[in-house]
Structure 1
Amino acid sequence: MKLKIASAALAAALLSACTSVPVRAPLQTVELEPAALAAAEARLAARESAVRALPELAFTGRVAMSNGRDGGSGRIEWRQASADYQVTLSAPVTRQSWQLRGGPAGARIDGLEGGPREGADVGTLLWEATGFEIPVTAMAAWAAGARADATTSGPAEVGYDAAGRLARLQQDGWTIDYLEWQPDPVAGGTPALPTRINAQRGEARVRLIVDSWAPGTTDAP
């Protein structure tokens, strides 16, 4: 228990040293007419197909996390190749950072007090090591405006705004609100991707601002 508290304190201190992530109200979901709903669902399906076809996906930005007691914000770098991921959280001022990498076989965290931690389940590993709940296995899909794999995250419900853009996604107990998108279309044929996202499940909250997307251009983690 003492080790978990120390690690959570270190993670909170790391994050709180960084620039905060501004809060913005979510987009309003509306009930679309049948033709508009069909067009919105077709756009969502096309984006999901395009995202899943990418061999690699990466973004950099700012993230804020809270668990109902502790929280803070920092820089985030996320690299994803299929189900394998590498996530780095850093505080430029203090030059502290911790890194998470893994995939279906398990995960490892480096940079926490007491040395590296490893575990078969990334969610359990993160909670036990830092006290934060982060939906790692689904986050890359959600961040890209796509539903996560239903075999691991369960069925999803979606809502659209008046313009037919994805405004809300609910899956695996999480509610993901899409607050801002890239302008459409994006050069290179990739559909517009989200740039500001809020995710919440119970007291766990994650706010993400994507400063730069690099779809299909990174090296494998």
Structure 2
Amino acid sequence: MTAKRATALVLASALLAACAVAPPVGDANDNPAWRVRSAQLAKIDRWQVQGRIGVVRGREAWSASLAWRQDGTQYAIDLLGPFGAGRVHVEGDANGVTLFTGDGQQLSAADADELIERATGVAVPVAALRDWVLGRPQAGVPARLQADVRGRLTRIEQAGWVVEYGAWQAQAPELPLKLRAEHGDVQVRLSIERWDT
């Protein structure tokens, strides 16, 4: 191979690699685009998503279809297929939460995190997911944030959890389509098929 040809191949490889690189990521606190985006996201308190959720803890795993409706502090979550059951419906507000199973059982608790842990044995941060699903940290809890040049969070480290975002919807306000949250041996994955805000 001639030196000229080898140089051309190296340059072509470098150009292809440059095209595959994700947008630069940095500390969100130093990112003016994140500050603007954060203010926009803070105004969203009514939304609905449809998609899938998967939870893994060690060798245990479950997944379900997900429909989540949030209206301020009130919410309703429908899960189809978790825990070997047909349907689970969760509804709650600032005063408490109740889980209804397809076979007529009912569980209540002070908050969704406690309820899901009692029902499944897995600590899933439902309260934090309410914010993480929008691409923002949970309010009032210290966090380390990384954002891309467009102000979209790429990583949240909060309350021992690491949240990473894998895809975003194209239309404004570019809400997340894929996120993964990990804490110890617990991993929660959300794949969102539809957003309504």
Superposed displacement of residue 131, structure 1 = 1.4
- Contact 1:47–1:146 (Cα < 8 Å) also in 2: no
1:191-210 alignment, distance < 5 Å:
191-210=173-192
Larger strand proportion of the pair? 2
Q: Report the counterpart of residue 111 of structure 1 in structure 2.
A: 101
**Are positions 1:43 and 2:33 aligned together?**
yes
The alignment covers a number of residue pairs equal to 175
- Contact 2:32–2:151 (Cα < 8 Å) also in 1: no
**Are positions 1:213 and 2:195 aligned together?**
yes
Residues in 1 aligned to 2:74 and 2:35: alpha-carbon distance in whole angstroms: 23
**Residues 56 and 30 of structure 1: CA distance in aligned 2, closer, same or farther (over 3 Å):** closer
Residues in 1 aligned to 2:96 and 2:29: alpha-carbon distance in whole angstroms: 39
Superposed displacement of residue 29, structure 1 = 7.2
Q: Report the counterpart of residue 76 of structure 1 in structure 2.
A: 66
Q: Which amino acid aligns with 1:179?
A: G
TM-score normalised by structure 2 residue count: 0.78
**Are positions 1:172 and 2:159 aligned together?**
yes
Residues in 1 aligned to 2:26 and 2:195: alpha-carbon distance in whole angstroms: 30
Runs (5+) with no aligned partner, structure 1: 1-26, 216-221
Q: Which amino acid aligns with 1:206?
A: V
**Are positions 1:127 and 2:117 aligned together?**
yes
- Contact 2:29–2:35 (Cα < 8 Å) also in 1: no
Q: Report the counterpart of residue 66 of structure 1 in structure 2.
A: 56
Residues in 2 aligned to 1:101 and 1:142: alpha-carbon distance in whole angstroms: 19
Could you say which structure has the larger radius of gyration?
2
| Secondary structure of residue in 1 paired with 2:124 | coil
- Contact 2:49–2:196 (Cα < 8 Å) also in 1: yes
Q: Identical aligned pairs, as a percentage? A: 29
Residues in 2 aligned to 1:108 and 1:132: alpha-carbon distance in whole angstroms: 17
Q: Which amino acid aligns with 2:166?
A: L
**Residues 82 and 128 of structure 1: CA distance in aligned 2, closer, same or farther (over 3 Å):** same
Residues in 2 aligned to 1:112 and 1:163: alpha-carbon distance in whole angstroms: 43
**Residues 162 and 56 of structure 1: CA distance in aligned 2, closer, same or farther (over 3 Å):** closer
Runs (5+) with no aligned partner, structure 2: 1-21
Listed one character per residue, the Cα deviations across residues 105-146 of structure 1 (whole Å, up to 9, x for unaligned) are: 111111066710001132122111111222111212111111
Listed one character per residue, the Cα deviations across residues 146-188 of structure 1 (whole Å, up to 9, x for unaligned) are: 11111xxx211111346654210111211100111122xx2xx
Residues in 2 aligned to 1:66 and 1:82: alpha-carbon distance in whole angstroms: 29
Q: Report the counterpart of residue 182 of structure 1 in structure 2.
A: 169
Residues in 1 aligned to 2:89 and 2:62: alpha-carbon distance in whole angstroms: 16
